Structure 1
Amino acid sequence: MTIDFLDLHKQYLSIKDEVDVAMTKVIASSAFIKSSPVTTFENEFAAYLKAEHVVSCGNGTDALEICLTAFGIGEGDEVLVPAMSWISTSEVVATRKATPVFVDIDAETYCIDVSKIEDKITEKTKAIIPVHLYGHPADMMGIIELAKKYNLKVIEDCAQAHGTEINGKKVGTFGDAATYSFFPTKNLGAFGDAGAIVVKDTNLKLKILAIANHGQEERHKHITHGRNSRMDGIQAAVLSVKLKYLEKWINLRRKIANQYKEELTGMENIKLPVEASAAKHAYHLYVIRAENRDGLKKNLQEKGIATMIHYPKALPFQLCYQDYDFEEVHFPVASKVQNEILSLPFYPEFSTEALKYVAMNIKDFYFEKA
């Protein structure tokens, strides 16, 4: 068998008629920029999250940086970020000329380790950016408690957590602001780049709207230096269609995750994903930790099974941070995890037959090595 890591075309085929009609309406009405499809999606996504305000933008990275700008975070400031994430989480801090301060991750959830946050807080610390990695929520209760104690802003990075919950409440509604990416591979993905910012405060919403639109409070009235970061009408129309199916797709993801668990539980050579008691894992990715990870990956590839690594190098060890002279001892959990994690093929339309083939080959690899 040949097993793709992801098959977006299958998802498209399942909703093809609705998506095609939605896109055709946008084209027919030339509703391309700052149009009614965009406003409609913003309102629908806010309702889905039970959030006060959603402001769309160009992508998830822009969303993070716009939030930092709106909070006035810049040169001389520090922002706490997890040691394991996609580069955007720390990159936006650096591009604001602030300093990303890395915090090691929890060995079970791979999210920022709340017990290690307080030691990293200084008088320069202005914010925390927790990432709900792979679809599992960070410990928001602990993070909010520390943020209140030290008067810090909390910006939730929800790029991998569409539909993730804590005690029945959607992530993105806990912090001062939250950001979403709608990159095509996400649980809720557009047909190109798109993003959104979630906020509670109306004044902050207005500030973010201005920053994302060349600093304009109204047409030709520029109150600040901003940027051009907008969701286009076609992406919004696609997302509105897909949003109706998001919970169904998440339930399928959780079902497939349970199937993997049934097939792989009991193996001493791998560690399966966990789900904290208060959490609803949305399973953006299904990530195991594997003994001889690189050998397993190569073996699966030879059997026609595509896998990926999210992420092969923890953020502190990226070349762009080499001046910090970080060593593995500074982030022992992230240092270990980066060499063991492996993302298995996983998407809502993934068949049981394909899953069993993946599981069988994982078992065979370790049986042969025994």
Structure 2
Amino acid sequence: MEFRDLKTQYQTYKSEIDHAIQNVLTNANFIGGNEVKELEQQLSEYVGVKHCITCANGTEAMTLVLMAWGVKEGDAIFLPDFTFFSTGEVVSFNGATPIFVDVDRNTFNLDVVKLEEAVKQTIEEGKLTPKVIIPVDLFGLPANYPEIQKVADKYNLLVLEDGAQGFGGVIEGKRACSFGNASTTSFFPAKPLGCYGDGGAIFTNDDKLAELLNSLKVHGKGNNKYDNVRIGVNSRLDTIQAAILKVKLEAFIKHEVDDVNRVARLYDEKLKGVVETPFIPEGYASSFAQYTIKLNNNEERNNLQAKLKEENIPSMIYYVMPMHEQEAFSDLKSNHKNFQITKELSQTVLSLPMHPYLTEQEIDQVCSVIMEYFN
């Protein structure tokens, strides 16, 4: 059994993917080929924004936006404590200070009440200037953008949606990666929409920001790549990856989002009353980058994971360590009492196999082992 079955996905679309790759090889247009622009157009239409700017990976997508916004030393950037390292890493990389905020226990996403408390505390301390909020769409579920935006408007902050895991999610008909002033996603192979290497994208309705990002991602180019008007980086999506993503985006839209939600419903039905299953608020839809259950304590979680492993069932723990406990952020001297929910989740969450090609027989197998463990 695969945790995220890229092999079956490839076999399902082998002829289309192979043909797309062969076209790039035949045309030998490996950087900036037509497939890149076509993909950007298709992605922007799907998400529902004016501009999509592809780049090398999801981490650099966030880095580029922060560069474009002039984020620097002395700026405070607010983000969830329960997430992957890169969300905080890009803040420090740009010289600013990450301010970690605890999350909501039900959704795993940024706690809006605690967010405002953190903003007010930062203003009162007067050492840093609040500038950006980076909510994360964890495990496929969009963060609470309607309420986050109210906080941003109240304190004149920019919002950068980290949609690396959320691509395909929805709030009241509005798709993930369309929230805030800009948003980013990752095409890492295991993401809801993944390529066969690294890749990322930025989404925005801001014409000037899009123009600046297209310059920054190619060495700060002006009219052409030999006319350099600012300091930038080298962060482009390869044409081969764009060609692969075009095929996979069609499958993603056609059935994959519906299929992961079908898998989630089956898990919910079979595990109801056995473990705590994912919570999806009314009006929201998840793209289920992960299907994450909660156990009662660390020992129970680890023992269940060991039991699953005995039956050759893969599982993963996202995340074993809160952001504020990472050694790279040890100089920030965070108050551990502020992150009680994150600390609890890091000790109790477990992610089960989840992908569009998971069969009901495989779901039954996973659930049977879990039920047997608790019985």
TM-score, length-normalised on structure 1? 0.96
CA apart distance, 1:327: 5.1
Match of 2:245 among 220, 239, 245: 239
The 2-side partners of 1:227 and 1:277 are apart by 41
Partner of 1:345: 353
Partner of 1:358: 366
Q: Is the 8 A contact 1:31 1:37 kept in 2?
A: no
Partner of 2:283: 278
Partner of 1:306: 314
Please list, as runs of the form range in 1=range in 2, the aligned pairs for 1:88-107 lying within 5 A after superposition: 88-107=86-105
Regions of 4+ moved over 3 Å: 325-328
- Return 5+ residue gaps in structure 1 as ranges: none
The 2-side partners of 1:15 and 1:191 are apart by 13
User: Is 1:205 matched with 2:210?
Assistant: yes
SS state of the match for residue 101, structure 1?
strand
The 2-side partners of 1:4 and 1:18 are apart by 23
Give deviations 1:18-63, integer Å, cap 9, x for gaps: 1111110011001210111100000010011111100010000000
Match of 1:78 among 76, 79, 94: 76
Match of 1:227 among 233, 256, 276: 233
1:333 is matched by which residue type in structure 2?
A: I
CA apart distance, 1:6: 2.1
User: Is 1:8 matched with 2:6?
Assistant: yes
Partner of 1:164: 169
CA apart distance, 1:162: 1.3
2:324 is matched by which residue type in structure 1?
A: P
Give deviations 1:84-125, integer Å, cap 9, x for gaps: 111110000001110000000001000000111111113411
The 2-side partners of 1:184 and 1:304 are apart by 22
CA apart distance, 1:4: 2.5
- Return 5+ residue gaps in structure 2 as ranges: 124-128
Give deviations 1:275-331, integer Å, cap 9, x for gaps: 110201111110001131011111111121110011111111111122233354220
Give the fraction of aligned pairs with identical amino acids, expressed as a percent. 36
User: Is 1:258 matched with 2:270?
Assistant: no
2:144 is matched by which residue type in structure 1?
A: D
Give deviations 1:317-361, integer Å, cap 9, x for gaps: 111122233354220100101000100011111111111111011
1:297 is matched by which residue type in structure 2?
A: Q
Coordinate RMSD, CA, aligned: 1.0
The 1-side partners of 2:162 and 2:46 are apart by 17
User: Is 1:295 matched with 2:300?
Assistant: no
TM-score, length-normalised on structure 2? 0.95
The 2-side partners of 1:106 and 1:252 are apart by 27
Partner of 2:42: 44
Give deviations 1:164-204, integer Å, cap 9, x for gaps: 01001101112100001000111111011010000111111
